[in-house]
Amino acid sequence: MKQQANPIGELVLIEQIRRASRLRNASVVLGIGDDCAILRPPTGCELLITTDFSLEGRHFRRDRHPAESVGHRCLARGLSDLAAMGAKPLAAFLSLALPRDIVTTKSGQQWTRRFLHGLHALGDRYACPLAGGDTAESPSSIAGATGSGLPGIASPGLILADIILVGAAPTGKALRRSGARPGDLLYCTGSLGGAAAELATVLARKSVARIRSSGTAGANAAQHPHLLPEPRLATGAALLRRKLASAALDLSDGLSTDLMHLCVASGVHAVVDAAALPIHPLAAALGPAAALQAALHGGEDYELLFTAAASTRIPRSLAGVPITPIGRITRRRTGQPIMTLLHPDGTRQPLQPAGWEHFSSTAH
């Protein structure tokens, strides 16, 4: 971590991060402790880089989300981006802006330790070491801090975690959003709507949510699709290696919004079969109408959405993750909506993108 001018509390924080960052891999020649990290990409590969904010009051609440979940989700967001392109993670870079009390009090330092534990536990599982970053003290007050998407948040100093992920994929082979073609079939991994359903229960609580750990990553993700999402790295790598997918992206903003991105990038139209959508049990418990809304628009499922030629044989599961055909790609015609939802009774309606979008009129 790069050290800044004010060492009060920060040196302790940097040392805490350094001690927690024990994982190394062959791609990280030099990690935390110098002005820059040095990476050595694998031979025959090109680098893929993605970055994501985790903002208190927007992506998590300290009074509702366990610190381990905040750290886990901070890294999972970037790992899911790499998974969507079939990339292998090489290293992560974390910049943290923290309120003074988080760094200087025992309770605050405990929050940081738990945050780092969640981040590193996921990073260790996918051989993705923390190779550097930065630290700063967040401002004592932020104008408009109460205008957040998560209701009831007002803090004199907010936490900001900015994560950068570096990955590698064979040169010219990374999966992209722009490869879908008319006649392709549309698939998704895992199940949908669970993250939105669990988030609703987390926000309805009056205290920090508790994580029921079963000891296995897959089971934890199934129980806690919002708190402990599992990036589909092995599945994305298999799609690339076996040349199965024509286009792909991860479901972070909701199926309706992310599918629109794929359609626009590829210049195609998509038909989604509502009856085929794999609904997470937590979403199914909401009832049919609410479950469909959660699956289409909920967001943060971090599953993979991909297309493949109709002639391509797609297995029922890849790397232990179920694969479900949920629609098809057709030619886009003038005056036609970008996406269509096919109901079980055979009726059709335009499918509007209604997932998450920053700065939109629905982003409160």
pLDDT digits (tens, 9 = 90+) for 101-115: 888 888 888 999 999
pTM of the shown model = 0.89
Q: How confident is the model at residue 215 (pLDDT cuts 50, 70, 90)?
A: low
Mean pLDDT computed over 339-351 = 97
Is residue 170's pLDDT more than 50? Answer: yes
**What is the pLDDT at residue 8?**
45
- Amino acid identity of residue 202, one-letter, is V
**Is CATH 3.20.20.390 the classification given to domain 10-170?**
no
Apex 298 CA angle, 357 and 277, nearest 5: 125
pLDDT of 149 reads 46
Superfamily designation of domain 177-350? PurM-like C-terminal domain (3.90.650.10)
Tell me what percent of the residues of the chain surpass a pLDDT of 70: 86
The answer to whether residues 247 and 179 touch, using CB atoms and an 8 Å cutoff, is yes
Per-residue pLDDT reduced to its tens digit, 34-46: 889 899 999 999 9
If one counts every other C-beta atom within 10 angstroms of the C-beta of residue 219, the result is 14
What was the pLDDT predicted at 352? 95
Per-residue pLDDT, 142: 46
Mean pLDDT for 156-172 is 94
Give the angle 223-228-234 at the CA atoms, nearest 5°.
100
Q: pLDDT tens across 237-290, in order? A: 999 999 999 999 999 999 999 999 999 999 999 999 999 999 999 999 999 999
Residue intervals of the chain classified under CATH 3.90.650.10 are 177-350
Residue 79 CA to residue 74 CA, distance in Å, equals 9
pLDDT at 175 over 70: yes
CATH 3.30.1330.10 in the chain, residues?
A: 10-170
- Per-residue HEC secondary structure of 274-338 comes to HHHCCECHHHHCCCHHHHHHHHHHCCCCCCEEEEECCCCCCCCEECCEEEEEEEEEEECCCCCCC
Is residue 169 within 8 A of residue 87, CB to CB? The reply is: yes
Cα–Cα distance measured from residue 199 to residue 227, given in angstroms and rounded to the nearest whole number: 8
Mean pLDDT (the chain) is: 89
The string of pLDDT tens digits covering residues 288-337 is 999 999 999 999 999 999 999 999 999 999 999 999 999 999 999 998 99
User: How sure is the predictor about 1, in pLDDT bands with cuts at 50, 70 and 90?
Assistant: low
CA distance 108 to 117: 14
